[in-house]
């Protein structure tokens, strides 16, 4: 155990990580190391107390997604979006900008819509994650999904899963929205095909019927 009290050490001074090591470089350039190292956390001391340091290699993680338990060994730098898509094959959330700018990756974390590309997987552990995959139940579309179909609210479809999740979260929070509420509330999703008019109608349809 190393003591890192009051700034006498910082990660770069540490003998364990002198700048970018050859191992780091291999990871950056995407060449995989022969034996994937999974290591538990390292315990160090900070301000007199023990804290756990994870990574930079793979660490065991656990997630609660759509009410089910998922496990994977991931590096701390993996985003929630990449974990969903690449580890758990939940590919509903799309990777479009990967920069928190388009909404295609929208999922719910503890019932709030967020961009899965803007959150690290390691931070999403022990939170309730809901993806678009959970909305269809027993082969029956969720009312907002049905409303997308009824109102021709999808063209190429790439933005659609993110929009559907954002619409669901919006309607849960604003069951009786004004047109202005809809415009503001759905402002975090972009559609290159321009299906906005259909989406606004879909929301209005569900708001009228009640979801």
Partner 1 sequence: MRPFEYVSPNTRSQAISLLGASRGNAEILAGGTDLLTLMKDDVVAPKRLINIKGINDLHGVSSNAQGFHIGALTTLGDLADDATVRQNYPALAEALAEAASPQIRNLATLGGNLCQRPRCWYFRNGFGLLPKNETGKELVAEGENRYHAILGNEGPAKFVSPSTLVPILVAYGAKIRLEGPKGKRELPLEKFFVIPKNEGEREHDLRPNEIVTEVVIPPASDVRAAHYEIRQKEIFDWPLAVAGVALKMRGSNVQSARIVMGYVAPVPWPSPEAEQALVGQPINKDTAQRAAEAALTNAKPLSHNAYKVQLARVALRRAILKAASGGVS
Ligand X SMILES: Cc1cc2nc3c(=O)[nH]c(=O)nc-3n(C[C@H](O)[C@H](O)[C@H](O)COP(=O)(O)OP(=O)(O)OC[C@H]3O[C@@H](n4cnc5c(N)ncnc54)[C@H](O)[C@@H]3O)c2cc1C
Task: Tell me which residues touch partner 1 (CB under 8 A).
Answer: 4-7, 9-13, 17, 20, 24, 27-28, 46-47, 49, 51-57, 75-77, 79, 98-100, 103, 106, 109, 112-115, 117-120, 122-123, 166, 169-170, 183-185, 187-190
101 belongs to the binding site for ligand X (CB under 6 A): yes
Return the one option of ligand X, partner 1, ligand FES, none that residue 185 interacts with (CB less than 5 to 8 A, by type).
Answer: partner 1
Residue 109 in contact with ligand FES, rule: CB under 6 A:
no
Contact 183, 204 (CB under 8 A): no
- 83 secondary structure, DSSP code: I
Q: 183 — phi, psi (to 5°)? A: -65, -40
| Residues 57-96, mask of contacts with ligand X (x by CB under 6 A) | ----------------------------------------
Nearest-approach distance from CB 74 to ligand FES, in angstroms: 18
Residues 6+ apart with CB under 8 A from 143: 206, 209, 211
C-alpha–C-alpha distance, residues 108 and 188, integer Å: 14
Q: According to the binding rule CB under 6 A, does residue 100 interact with ligand X? A: yes
Q: Which of residues 155-174 bind ligand FES (CB under 6 A)?
A: 155-160
Return the number of the residue (39 or 156) whose C-beta is nearest partner 1: 39
Ordered DSSP codes for 159-196: SHHHHHHHHHHHHHH-SS--HHHHHHHTTT---TT--H
Token pair in block for residue 151 = 């109102």
Q: Does 112 bind ligand FES (CB under 6 A)?
A: no
CB atoms inside a 10 Å sphere around CB 210: 9
- Shortest distance (Å) from residue 71 CB to partner 1: 18
Q: Where are the alpha helices (DSSP H) in 56-150?
A: 80-82, 121-124, 143-150
> For binding to ligand X (CB under 6 A), which residues are involved?
100-101
Which residues of the chain form contacts with ligand FES (CB under 6 A)?
A: 95-98, 100-105, 115, 117, 154-160, 191-193, 195
């Amino acid at each position: 155990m190393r003591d890192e009290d009051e700034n006498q050490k910082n990660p770069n001074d540490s003998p364990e990580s002198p700048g970018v090591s050859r191992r780091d470089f291999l990871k950056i350039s995407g060449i995989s190391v022969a034996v994937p190292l999974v290591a538990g956390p390292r315990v160090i001391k900070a301000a007199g107390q023990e804290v756990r340091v994870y990574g930079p290699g793979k660490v065991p993680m656990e997630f609660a997604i759509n009410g089910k338990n998922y496990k994977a060994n991931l590096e701390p730098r993996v985003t929630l979006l990449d974990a969903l898509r690449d580890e758990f094959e939940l590919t509903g959330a799309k990777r479009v900008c990967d920069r928190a700018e388009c909404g295609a990756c929208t999922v719910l974390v503890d019932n709030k819509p967020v961009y899965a590309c803007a959150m690290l997987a390691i931070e999403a552990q022990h939170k309730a994650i809901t993806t678009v995959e959970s909305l269809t139940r027993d082969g029956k579309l969720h009312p907002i999904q049905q409303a997308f179909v009824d109102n021709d609210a999808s063209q190429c479809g790439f933005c659609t899963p993110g929009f559907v999740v954002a619409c669901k979260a919006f309607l849960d929070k604003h069951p009786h929205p004004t047109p202005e509420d809809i415009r503001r509330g759905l402002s975090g999703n972009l559609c290159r095909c321009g299906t906005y008019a259909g989406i606004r109608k879909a929301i209005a349809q569900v708001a009228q019927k009640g979801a």
